[in-house]
Amino acid sequence: MKFSEIPYERIDFQKLKQDFYSLMERIERAVSGEEQFEIHREYYRLSNHVLTEMNLAMIRNDIDMTDEYYSEEQKHYDRNMPIFQNLVVEYQKKLYFSRFRPYLEERIGRVAFKNISLAMEAMDEKLIPLMQEENALSTAYNKLLATAKIDWEGEKLNLSLMQPYLTSPDRSVRERAWKKYTAFFSEHREELDDFYEKLVRNRTKQGRMMGHENFLPLGYARMNRNCYGPSEIRSFRKQVEQEIVPLAELLHERRRERLGLSRLSYIDEGVYFPNGNPRPVGTAEEILAAGKRMYDELSPETARFMNTMCEMELFDVLGRKNKRTGGYMTMLADYRVPFIFANFNGSSGDADVITHECGHAFQGYLTADLPIREHNDLTMETAETHSMSMEFFTEPWMPLLFGERAGDYLRMHLEETLSFLPYGVMVDEFQNIVYEDPGLSPKERRRVWRDLERRYKPHLDYSGNPYYEEGGFWQKQHHIYDSPFYYIDYCIAGTDALQYKNWMDRDWKSAWESYLKLCRAGASDFFDVLIRDAGLRNPFEEGCLRDIAKGIREREAL
């Protein structure tokens, strides 16, 4: 069955409530752990179906955010998913407090029960109205960005389709492109401020309703931080500032020299070569065909995965007007397959879809048939390790995608990965400051962001752009609006991926075997145990980033 042929049916949440109440009653009446586990398998079927229909509606809404039918369906789930989340937690409590818990914990795993305890901290029926409002605000923010219309050379382009011009080898072109791009955000600054102000107030109120001083404890529980907390993340941010920021600045200086510039302006931020960044060769169809050949050759497992993706047409990657910005992978649990959403725009980011998002999808494909559904409930730093590591494992096949400029792409990819770490921890620190002091005004938040940029990205020069100079750059980062505290997971995972990069340079085969082991393990154990068993160091470990930086300095002669 092709994706376009998959039927969609709106979930009836009133009926769903009755189905959940029936499950809970049966769990309570069960006379053994074995009986409870069989009932729990029915919960898998029920919840998988809800998530499948929700994801179908989300994908089809994201493909065209002006589609009235799926816009209404998205609103339906914005209103009702908090109700579903509360039903799930109420059901999970029956397992958590079951007199047969030892048996259930043996079958389902101790990680699942730790996650249930976090879910109970993160969800309460009294939060539902606020969660509904939060969902609606996030959807409205994304719709504003998706429907942006920027006048460019006689065309109306959205934000994603502006990307090739923002990184044009012609500096005058990218200067004009950045001016147009910035103008959209500047013109909508008050609206963007208003969205975020309402989100911060909403989430703060949720945190306080759950007995906290602010949103932070609730936000961490929702991110399923089941084996580390704020202190470990603060320490990690400090390591990045001490070890990676100086290295990234050396790479920026080398980039400046390569570009032949006297100074780096913000308009040069995403540009790596004077003749322009390497771009994938060919049409979107040819890029996908090259990706198919790459995964056919990489391993038998990846070959089967990519064949399924292509046969079922589980990609929507062409950039189009009215399409949501960004990209993601999600699972269609009823069909046991992943789906990849993206915006091809002619930049190197198109190849990243074939590596990064396919890393997520490959792992989801490998474990789609796991009998214990909880073993697919990945924490995000584990999920991003799968995707960011795949970016490096596929490097030997970059000539298929970039032709003669494959070497340039590999250099750019390493520099991008390293220079991302300071940005990623900056996003995380910004969110921590904002939610610790929710009374900050929009102007004060912008000042916080600009001060963080001076610490983590000191080379940045916003001369001639008052919107960014005053600290407005963060408003384009949808994770800050949609997914508080998510962004640090990319940095943790980036550290794992750089370890794999060092490993595969020494012994590609054993590194790949480790990666397969990690993917197949899913969420069967805690993150720190999973990476230890895979042969990686814990990114939070003192000295981990120092040693990574040292290895890169030696290899790059910095």
Per-residue DSSP letters for 156-216? EE-TGGGHHHHT-SSHHHHHHHHHHHHHHHHHTHHHHHHHHHHHHHHHHHHHHHTT-SSSH
**φ and ψ of 343, to 5 deg:** -130, 90
The pLDDT value recorded for residue 2 is 96
Q: Which amino acid is at 546?
A: R
The pLDDT value recorded for residue 285 is 87
Burial of 334 from C-beta contacts in 10 A (0-12 / 13-18 / 19+): middle
Two tokens at 557? 């002669």
Return the closest-CA partner of residue 200 out of 486, 450, 449, 431: 431
**φ and ψ of 69, to 5 deg:** -65, -55
Two tokens at 490? 């990319």
The pLDDT value recorded for residue 556 is 85
| Residues 153-180 as b or e (16 or more Cβ within 10 Å = b) | eeeebbbbbbbbbbbbeeeebbebbbee
Distance, in Å, from the CA atom of 558 to the CA atom of 243, rounded to the nearest integer, reads 13
- C-beta separation of 58 from 74 below 8 A: yes
- C-beta separation of 446 from 470 below 8 A: yes
Distance, in Å, from the CA atom of 415 to the CA atom of 26, rounded to the nearest integer, reads 56
Q: What is the mean pLDDT of each run of 10 residues along the chain (558 residues)?
A: 96 98 97 98 97 98 94 96 96 97 96 97 96 95 91 91 93 97 96 97 98 97 96 97 97 97 96 95 90 96 97 91 88 97 87 93 97 96 98 97 96 95 98 97 98 97 96 95 95 97 94 98 97 97 95 87
The pLDDT value recorded for residue 223 is 96
Distance, in Å, from the CA atom of 558 to the CA atom of 553, rounded to the nearest integer, reads 5
Distance, in Å, from the CA atom of 301 to the CA atom of 297, rounded to the nearest integer, reads 10
pTM for this prediction: 0.93
- C-beta separation of 243 from 546 below 8 A: yes
Q: Which 8-state DSSP code applies to residue 244?
A: I
Q: Residue 363: CB partners within 8 Å, gap ≥ 6?
A: 378, 383, 386, 387, 519, 522
**φ and ψ of 337, to 5 deg:** -140, 155
Distance, in Å, from the CA atom of 291 to the CA atom of 348, rounded to the nearest integer, reads 14
Q: Residue 543: CB partners within 8 Å, gap ≥ 6?
A: none
The pLDDT value recorded for residue 203 is 98
Other beta carbons less than 10 A from residue 110's beta carbon: 12
Burial of 75 from C-beta contacts in 10 A (0-12 / 13-18 / 19+): middle
Q: Residue 32: CB partners within 8 Å, gap ≥ 6?
A: 100, 103
- C-beta separation of 435 from 200 below 8 A: yes
